[in-house]
Chain A
């Protein structure tokens, strides 16, 4: 979609040194104000994984319509069939996340092609682990009924019980496994 823009951005980015990241507190307050705006305007918070569930449900319906509609998980995202499952609040929000991330990145000279990894592993190993980690996360996000955005951040701010449990478990799970994958990062 924006591959051309991204490449142009990469070239522009490599001409100058990337700006340092913001201090975490103003960045967090900014994020909190966006979340508060979502509560006040919409009565709901932020999310991410839900948009990809809509995508998966829509794709499954396109390939195997009967199979998708008789599965209650897909059916929830497909609705009653009167509207396109991609005309969804979270889908539009996530498109915005891509755009907002790009705007911030290009203004700070941080858009460039890269594979993020520690010095001890190869790019191919990193990509394999990225796929595997993403897979675990996609599955886990559905089981938890939301991811870091929907449960930890949004549910955390409205003091949901399950959200706080999921948030603690996210940190717990990551710390428990960190030692075993340290060579990927350190």
Chain B
């Protein structure tokens, strides 16, 4: 097996768009199954009553991370052909803070708001309109903020490279941290729904 298939030229751009559509269906399906078409369910994460956002996100990260690790270890996937987003540490941290603020104020994130629109949520339609407006504002002010946007570049760097720790060891540590996080999350959920009501 030579993977990623697309990078080895097994199919072209047109087929890749069909693949995108099919993968998107899977993505949307599981987001909705998890309850992420509901702003109340999503934001309960930030009031510690329902930590599904953390649990779903980290079980997904673990699944894909471990899968990718073993497939590359077996020589089935060429990891150097899997895209890693380049790091610009300060603008990305500031952007992350804004994403978090927008999440708790607006009730969704971009992906989950699509699923909420599909299941009839009017607030998600308005939220998505807001996203488009926010991107337009970003585009219009881009000439003035591009210096900041491109500041503190670190390249396509991963945690194993940054910390100089073997890839497998970082994977193992993330798994341990996540399992600890899952246990902690369940404990927190019980504590907060008991003291403050559901």
Contacts and interface: CB of A to CB of B under 8 A. Distances in A.
Given A52-B110, A141-B110, A161-B157, A25 B130 contact: no
Given A9-B120, A89-B16, A32 B106 contact: no
Given A100-B32, A116-B123, A151 B96 contact: yes
B123 A21 contact: no
B27 A170 contact: no
B132 A52 contact: yes
Interface residues of A, number: 125
What size tier do the contact residues of chain B reach?
35 or more
Interface string B41-78: 10111110000100111111111110110010000010
Interface string B16-40: 1111111111111111111101111
B131 A130 contact: no
Q: Which of A167, A173, A182 has the most CB of B within 10 A?
A: A173
A85 interface: no
Contact of B28 (A74, A90, A99, A138): A99
A95 B115 CA distance: 10
A113 B122 contact: yes
Contacts of B89: 161-162, 165
Interface string A81-94: 00000010111111
A100 to B, nearest CB: 3
Contact of B60 (A96, A137, A153): A153
Contact of A146 (B85, B106, B116): B85
Nearest to A70: B143
A44 to B, nearest CB: 5
Given A33-B63, A98-B28, A98-B117, A158 B158 contact: yes
B93 A149 contact: no
A74 B24 contact: no
Contact of A174 (B6, B65, B86, B100): B100
A149 B63 CA distance: 15
Nearest to A116: B39
Given A110-B37, A140-B99, A25 B59 contact: yes
Contact of A136 (B30, B67, B98): B98
Contacts of B45: 174
A177 B138 contact: no
A79 interface: no
Contacts of A97: 24-25, 27-28, 31, 111, 114-115
Nearest to B41: A21
Given A103-B28, A175-B46, 14 more contacts: A27-B35, A45-B64, A71-B140, A98-B28, A100-B27, A100-B30, A105-B37, A126-B123, A130-B108, A136-B134, A139-B102, A148-B103, A161-B162, A162-B92
Interface of B: 3-7, 16-35, 37-41, 43-47, 52, 55-65, 67-68, 71, 77, 81-89, 91-124, 126-140, 142-143, 145-146, 149, 154, 156-162, 167, 170-171, 174
